[in-house]
Amino acid sequence: MPKSKPSERGAIEGGSLPLSALTAAGDIAYLWDLASGRLSWSGVSPEFVRLGGAGALDRAKSLLDRIHPADRRVRQERMHAHLATGASFDCEFRLRLPNGEFVWVHDRGAAPAGDRMLGVWRFVTQRKAAERHLEYLASYDELTGLFNRKRLRETLDYILAASLRSGRPGAYLVIGVDKLTAVNDALGEAAGDTVLTEIARRIEQNLRASDVLGRLGADRFAVVLAECAEDQVGVAAERIVASVNREPIQTDAGRIFATVSIGAATFPEQAKVGRDIMARAESALTEAKRAGRDCFVPYLLTDEQRAKHRADMVMGDGVRRALKEGRLVFAYQPIVESTEVVGQANVDYYECLLRMIDEDGVPVAAAAFVPVIERLGFVRIIDRYVLERAVQEAADHPGFRLGFNISGVTATDRSWLRTVMRLLRDKPLLARQLVVEITETAALHDIEECSRFVGTLRELGCRVAIDDFGAGFTSLRHLQALAVDTVKIDGSFVRDLATKPENQVFLRHLVGLAHGMGFTTVAEGVESEGESAILRREGVRLQQGYYFARPSIPAPWGK
């Protein structure tokens, strides 16, 4: 090992440091006399030598002058906090080299006696560069430097929200590079990359400063046009098409004539949710490729779709007013033990079914408005309202167990789950009063995320039920991973049960499968004694339906 210079080794008062360990790790130790501002150093590091060594950093002021101006305040605040409270001193900052470049230092130290500080430097420039690269890749496409799909989606959501507030329309364009795979196969990926970067440059030349360009994937770009009238969307798209095919692209493999196809969707006229806008633009892009490529095709709403959209808007406004005015209420329907007879049925829990009281005082079933608010993108607000109301009802009436439904998007919504944790943390008795119902189709959409969701609810003490059990029958084996408590057999398997033997066979299979997985079973849609008797015979534990009681808006405890 090379011998260290005395000025670089220094002398740390109060004991000696294992210099070989410091050198092997590339770390530098220091002793800082806080009264005099004098610094003593031990250790050898190439970065420390480039800084000038111990001779150039023998005073606190000379060190402070080297620290990047943007990092000085944070370092000083942490130093003062350590000296005042004893909090750990752990800080990363940049130091200027004599040539003007900067290196990153991780500084950890302590001043146990208050008059001297002992610490260790580790140079972390390479790690910081790697972190910056990872942060860059989280938002940007590595080849083109444009926003990646994630960042583009976030931008679309932001511009869409602004459009909804201001009423000014915009558009989303998906731009597909025609036959890029053929270029890669024939001339190599390097030629394909050159085509992509040049097309990105040509697209960007035809955009306004307020427009946002990103790369969705291998052969697709996307543009968000903010505040763009519908009649100008086609103008912008045709300009991009023309700029790409106007002249060939020069690559190392030769000149390539490239073309693009474009699909577009406008907002908020055609959609008010980011994923819907993206899906409709993709649909239009598919049509553009079918039309022969090298062209633009807008997504068009039919007259029927426009009428439905207007009806959705009216219904959505009505739901918002009802929420604001307290006209969203629960109708309660009992879920009873199968072993009991009508009139004496033992209620296991009440399902809280959402109803909207319209302006004429007439209850409107959830099926009439929940699909609408899902399409309009504010179902999470309603699901949070349902959660908070159900928790409050349970808290006010501890003798009752209540169940409630959440939508498919909420079944993997972590913000909703955080609200549950806030409301129920350290309240196991209250949590045990609640049964959260999610649809089977929603559970199957993202098994892994939904499994975590269910696990958290059960850890809090809630029961979790799968609603509409059987609707995704081909994937029932996946449900075992969810570890729910209860499955609710879809009413379509209960209907006409007494008159259709084939339904009984199918029901027997479903019940056997559910019991084999350890689930409690509930049959929905029971409307006759005959159906109820068969369900009891087949071992279904709980039943729900008009045969026992219709949903009632007056709460059972209010009667």
Question: For position 341, what pLDDT does the model report?
Answer: 55
Same domain membership, residue 122 and residue 169: no
pLDDT at residue 559, as a whole number: 55
Same domain, 48 and 168: no
366-403: per-residue pLDDT in tens? 999 998 888 777 888 999 999 999 999 999 999 899 99
- Domain-embedded: residue 206: yes
104 and 194, same structural domain?
no
Same-domain check for residues 54 and 83: yes
Domain boundary among 130, 154, 171: 130
Q: Tell me, yes or no, whether 419 and 462 share the same domain.
A: yes
Query: pLDDT tens-digit profile of 202-226?
Result: 999 999 988 999 999 889 999 999 9
pLDDT tier, 93 (very low <50, low <70, confident <90, very high otherwise):
very high
In this structure, the answer to whether residues 175 and 93 fall within a common structural domain is no
> What region does 415 belong to: left with phi over 0, alpha with psi -120 to 50, or beta?
alpha
> Are 278 and 412 within one domain?
no
Is 433 among the domain residues?
Answer: yes
- Does residue 17 lie in a domain region? yes
CB atoms within 10 A of CB 106: 16
Whether residue 431 is found in the same domain as residue 525: yes
Whether residue 528 has pLDDT greater than 70: yes
Same domain, 443 and 462: yes
pLDDT of residue 446: 61
Which tokens hold the place of 550? 């219709």
List the single range of 154-163, 301-310, 325-334, 547-556 with lowest mean pLDDT.
301-310
Asked if residue 367 belongs to a domain, the reply is: no
Domain harbouring 538, CATH code: 3.20.20.450
Same domain, 148 and 105: no
Q: What is the pLDDT of residues 7-28, one digit of tens each?
A: 434 444 444 445 666 766 788 9
Distance CA 364, CA 487 (A): 27
Residue 138, burial from CB neighbour count under 10 angstroms (0-12, 13-18, 19+)? exposed
- Cβ count within 10 A of residue 477: 9
Judge whether 284 lies within some domain.
yes
- Grade residue 473 by pLDDT with cuts at 50, 70 and 90: very low
| pLDDT over 90 (residue 70) | no
Residue that has been written with the tokens 């071992």 in this structure:
539
Are residue 205 and residue 262 in the same domain, yes or no? yes
In a domain, residue 328? The reply is no
Quote the pLDDT of residue 340.
55
Mean per-residue pLDDT of the chain? 86
Residue from 177, 207, 211 nearest 195 by CA: 177
CA distance 552 to 324: 22
Give the count of alpha carbons within 13 A of 195, CB side only: 28
Highest average pLDDT, of 177-186, 236-245, 477-486, comes from 236-245
Last residue of a domain, one of 279, 300, 321: 300
Do residues 87 and 145 both lie within one domain?
A: no
Query: What is the per-residue pLDDT across 255-277, written as a single tens digit (0 to 9) for each?
Result: 999 999 999 999 988 888 888 89
Q: Is residue 438 part of a domain?
A: yes
Domain C-terminal end among 111, 130, 149: 130
Domain count along the chain: 3
Q: Residues 338-344: what's their mean pLDDT?
A: 61
Tens of pLDDT, residue by residue over 158-202, are 999 889 888 899 999 999 999 888 888 888 889 999 999 999 999
Domain with 50, as residue range(s), is 6-130
> Can you give the CATH number for the domain in which 183 is found?
3.30.70.270
| Residue 315 or residue 557, greater confidence | 315
pTM to 2 decimal places: 0.54
Asked whether residue 314 is assigned to any structural domain, the reply reads no
Residue 444: predicted pLDDT? 57
